[in-house]
Structure 1
Amino acid sequence: MEWLFLMISGLGEVGGVTSMKLSDGFRRWKGTVGSIVFGFISFFFLSQAIKEIPVSTAYGIWTGIGSIGSVLLGMVFFKESRDWRKLIFVGLIIVGVIGLKLVGGE
């Protein structure tokens, strides 16, 4: 169950960062509220995950999910660069997240 909590937490992180972008520096209330709600979801579920998963593993995976999701959403919805080098580095983050799951989970 803790791995599900960690996944939800990572997705909450992506939602929080995306909402922050949409808030336009916290000047738009919908994006601001989204940032707060997703931020709470992210930290709440991260706190649940680290009850069982080592904090170093959980935090590394959490930031990896947030980074990967933010880069991909930025490319799709915010017209950010789709440079092939960026995609290679995202791939390396994915390899790192998988590696942390394999060696540091228990």
Structure 2
Amino acid sequence: MSWFYLVLAGVFEMIGVVMINSLHKNKNWQSFVFMLAGFGASFVFLALAMKTLPMGTAYAIWTGIGASGGAILGMALYGESKDWKRLVFIAMVLGAAIGLKLVS
């Protein structure tokens, strides 16, 4: 169950990051509330995951999901560069997260 919580934490981290971008563009209270809710839920699920997972592993995977997911969402939603080099490095971050799961 801890790994499920950790993935949920990463997904909510991605939502929070997208809402930061939305807040900068729209400056409305809805974006602010969704940003707070996304980051709040992210921290709650990270805390639940860390009850049984080692801190270093949980934090590394959480940040990997958030960083790579944020980059992918930026490409999909906001037209950010889809250069092959960028995709290679995102794949490396995800590969490292999967590697940590396999050795934990």
Normalising by structure 2, we get a TM-score of 0.96
Can you give the 5+ residue segments of structure 2 that lack an aligned partner in the other structure? none
Q: Give the corresponding residue for 1:22.
A: 22
Q: Give the corresponding residue for 1:74.
A: 74
Q: Give the corresponding residue for 1:55.
A: 55
Q: Measure, in 2, the Cα distance between the counterparts of 1:29 and 1:67.
A: 25
- 1:61-86 CA deviation, whole Å, 9 max, x = no partner? 00000011101100011010111100
Which residue identity is paired with 1:70?
G
Deviation of residue 25 (structure 1)? Answer: 7.1
Conserved 8 A contact 1:26-1:32: no
| Alignment size in residue pairs | 104
Q: Give the corresponding residue for 1:35.
A: 35
1:24 alignment partner, SS class: helix
Deviation of residue 27 (structure 1)? Answer: 2.6
Can you give the 5+ residue segments of structure 1 that lack an aligned partner in the other structure? none
Normalising by structure 1, we get a TM-score of 0.94
Q: Measure, in 1, the Cα distance between the counterparts of 2:66 and 2:3.
A: 15
Paired-residue identity, %: 39
The structure that is helix-richer by fraction is: 2
Write out the 4+ residue segments of structure 1 that deviate beyond 6 Å after TM superposition.
none
